[in-house]
Structure 1
Amino acid sequence: MLTEEDFHRFTEFRCGAMGARLREMVDDPAFDAMTFEEKMKDLIDAEVASRQERKIAKLVKRAGFKIPDACVEDIVYLPDRKLSKDRILRLSECRWVEDRGNVVIISKTSRGKSYIAQALGTAACRKAHDVVYTRLSDMCSKLNQARDANDGSYYETISSLKLATLLIIDDFMTTPIKTVNAIDLFEIMEAREGLGATLIASQLEPNEWYLRIEGELMADSILNRIATGATFIDIEGPSMREYFAKKNAKEQ
Structure 2
Amino acid sequence: MLMQQTLSQLRNLKLDGMARAFEEQAALTASTSLSFEDRFGMVVERELAWRDTRRLERLMKAARLKNPQACIEDIDVRQSRGLDQRVVATLASCDWIRNAQNIILSGPTGAGKTWIACAFAQQACRQGFSALYVRAARLFEELRIAHGDGSFTRRLAQLAKIDVLLLDDWGLQELDQGARNDLLEVIDDRVGSRSTIITSQLPLEHWHAWLQDPTLADAILDRLVHQAHRLPIKGDSMRKTNAKQSDSSPS
Taking only the aligned residue pairs, the percentage that are identical comes to 28
Secondary structure of the structure 1 residue equivalent to 2:170? coil
Which sections of structure 1, spanning at least 5 residues, go unmatched? Answer: none
Report the CA distance shift for 1:78/1:251 in structure 2 as closer, same or farther (over 3 A): farther
Contact 2:106 2:204 in 1 (8 A): no
Distance 2:14 2:103 in 1: 39
Secondary structure of 1:233's counterpart equals strand
Given the alignment of the two structures, is residue 167 of structure 1 paired with residue 168 of structure 2, yes or no? no
The structural deviation recorded for 1:9 is 4.5
Whether the 8 Å contact between 1:61 and 1:68 is mirrored in structure 2 is no
Check conservation: 1:179, 1:213, Cα contact below 8 A.
no
Give aligned pairs, total.
Answer: 250
TM-score (norm 2): 0.90
Whole-Å separation in 2 of the counterparts to 1:251 and 1:75: 26
The structural deviation recorded for 1:30 is 3.1
CA deviation after TM superposition for structure 1 residue 114, in Å: 0.7
Residues 1:237 and 1:54: Cα distance change in structure 2 (over 3 Å) = same
Label 1:12 to 1:79 Cα distance change in 2 as closer, same or farther (>3 A). same
Provide the rounded CA distance (Å) in 1 between the counterparts of 2:204 and 2:106.
9
1:183 partner letter: N
In the TM superposition, what are the counterparts of 1:121-132 in structure 2 within 5 Å? Answer: 121-132=121-132
- Residue of structure 2 equivalent to 1:29: 29
Cα drift, residue 99 of structure 1: 0.6
SS at match of 1:104: strand
Residue aligned with 1:133, SS:
strand
Contact 2:104 2:199 in 1 (8 A): yes
Q: What is the rounded CA distance, in whole Å, between the counterparts of 2:93 and 2:71 in structure 1?
A: 13
| Alignment correspondent of 1:179 | 177
**Partner amino acid, structure 2, of 1:166:** V
| 1:82 matched residue in structure 2 | 82
- After superposition, the Cα gap between the structure-2 partners of 1:195 and 1:3, relative to the gap in structure 1 and judged at 3 Å, is closer
Structure-2 residue corresponding to 1:200: 198
Unaligned runs of 5+ residues in structure 2 are none
Partner amino acid, structure 1, of 2:187: M
Query: How high is the TM-score relative to the length of structure 1?
Result: 0.89
Q: Which moved more, 1:22-31 or 1:50-59?
A: 22-31
Say if 1:229 and 1:15 are closer, same or farther in 2 by CA, change over 3 A.
closer
* Aligned counterpart, 2:15: 15
